[in-house]
Amino acid sequence: MKKFEIAAIPGDGIGKEVVPVSLHVLNTIEELHGGLKFDFKEFPWSCDYYLEHGKMMPEDGLETLKSFDAIILGAIGNPELVPDHVSLWGLLIKIRRELEQSINIRPAKFFKGLQSPLVNPKDFDLIVVRENSEGEYSEVGGRIHRGEDEVVIQNAVFTRKGTERAMRYAFELAKKRRGHVASATKSNGIIHSMPFWDEVFNDVRADYPDIQTASYHIDALAAFFVSRPQIFDVIVASNLFGDILTDVGGAIMGSIGIAPAANINLNGKYPSMFEPVHGSAPDIFGKGIANPIGQIWTAKMMLDHFGEIELGRKLLDVVEDATNDGFKTPDIGGKASTIEVGDEICRRLKRL
């Protein structure tokens, strides 16, 4: 019996609607499988929590999380009440950083039953390896002067270690896939960090003679996601570039609501965190219509992470089939509620 202790943080907005559905799916899998056991513990850390306690999570929140095998996160943010940079840096980015979840992996592929906005979405299947610990997202920098003389400095910080780590992960992943790595750069415009990024990429690829490579400036790369996503297998990108590309990846699948993600701790010291790409979507919260697929696909990535690759594959097949058969929320052209989609997926899992 494999037993996993899992911390669940639904967070804000639709996170509170889709996380329970993903737990329902995981419970169903547990029942059917026999050899797997999930123990979930829920934490109410969120913007609501902030309004009550003046912080996004308790002082010992990170310590608490460290004892778990994995973390499931819904979404964080309620900008009407708490400025985003406060809520995100107080919880989401804090966990990514302090638990050394140094990369964020985010697949996107042609998904059966979805109406892609592209004329030709056929058969694209890519995965973005996003550097998740440094780069453009930093607390280094600040402001000077006020009013019309104000100057703001934002430092992007790239280390050899962080950059190389993300790239090596991408090359290892490509070995298990179609053997191609594309690097997202901007060395023609961003003068210190991106030429460095290219140098590290050149060094790393020398160790992988069997992997094909290409470099694209981020502007062209984003455009290719739209004009011919089929050319990509694995893409390695900085924190910001990965962020932008993966939303476009969600869009070309047909909905950002289905895009999954995993924040991976590579040194084995702390748990990894599984959170979908979408945000808290306050505009649709409470209506019961949030698309749970992103969160469920994210749970599939957790199964992969636990070594349950076959089980993960089955789960995603079921989700795709259910979608293709019309069990869909309104954002992707269906009439089902969040819970109905989850129930249908559980029903189908039981039939396997």
Ligand X SMILES: CC(C)[C@H](C(=O)O)[C@@H](O)C(=O)O
Residues lying near ligand X in the complex (CB under 6 A): 88, 188-189, 219, 243, 277
- The option from a copy of itself, ligand X, none interacting with 309 (CB < 5 to 8 A, set by class) reads none
Amino acid identity, position 236: V
Min CB(277)–ligand X separation in Å: 6
Tokens of 318: 């079921």
Min CB(205)–ligand X separation in Å: 23
Min CB(232)–a copy of itself separation in Å: 14
Contacting positions for a copy of itself (CB under 8 A): 77, 79, 83-85, 88-89, 93, 115-120, 136-143, 147-161, 164, 186-196, 218-220, 222-224, 226-227, 239-240, 243-244, 246-248, 250-252, 256, 279
Distance, in Å, from the CA atom of 337 to the CA atom of 292, rounded to the nearest integer, reads 9
- The option from a copy of itself, ligand X, none interacting with 17 (CB < 5 to 8 A, set by class) reads none
Residue closest to 98 by CA, chosen among 131, 55, 65, 143: 65
Min CB(94)–ligand X separation in Å: 11
Instruction: Indicate left, alpha or beta for 138 from its phi (over 0: left) and psi (-120 to 50: alpha).
Output: beta
- The option from ligand X, a copy of itself, none interacting with 143 (CB < 5 to 8 A, set by class) reads a copy of itself
For residue 7, give the H/E element and its range: strand 2-11
- For tokens 């960090």, name the residue: 193
| Phi, psi values for residue 141, rounded to 5° | 135, -170
- The option from ligand X, a copy of itself, none interacting with 35 (CB < 5 to 8 A, set by class) reads none
Min CB(117)–a copy of itself separation in Å: 5
- The option from ligand X, a copy of itself, none interacting with 187 (CB < 5 to 8 A, set by class) reads a copy of itself
Four-residue CA torsion sign, 314, 315, 321, 324: negative
88 vs 173 by CB, closer to ligand X: 88
Distance, in Å, from the CA atom of 67 to the CA atom of 285, rounded to the nearest integer, reads 31
Min CB(242)–ligand X separation in Å: 8
Residues 6+ apart with CB under 8 A from 231: 224
- DSSP for residue 255: -
- Residue 191's Cβ-count burial label (10 Å; 0-12, 13-18, 19+) is exposed
Nearest-CB residue for ligand X: 189
159 vs 337 by CB, closer to a copy of itself: 159
150 vs 210 by CB, closer to a copy of itself: 150
